Structure 1
Amino acid sequence: MFNENSIVAKVWADAVLKGNKELSDVPNLSNLIAVVTIIVEGGASNV
């Protein structure tokens, strides 16, 4: 459902990268946690 270009994934990844949220705070919606993790770990560009 979500991918690296999804605005929801980008917003969550940005919050994690800025230290405002933790990966454990990301809601368990479909594959959102997996996609945010990929973005945070540098697996996707243009956050």
Structure 2
Amino acid sequence: PIRDIRASMGAGFLYALCGEMRTMPGLPTTPAGTKIDIDKKGKVVGLF
């Protein structure tokens, strides 16, 4: 049986949840990898 109907506003559609289904969280608009860099000394920055 369908236990809930949710809207995915960014994608523009509805989806049904049945039984014990779980959803995964959405991704951020900007990937975290864009903040990672290497400074002048060769040290990785922006990783954590």
Q: Which has the larger radius of gyration?
A: 2
TM over 0.5: no
Shorter-chain TM range is: under 0.3
Per the normalisation by structure 1, the TM-score is 0.16
More helix by share: 1
Greater relative contact order (Cα < 8 A, sep 6+): 1
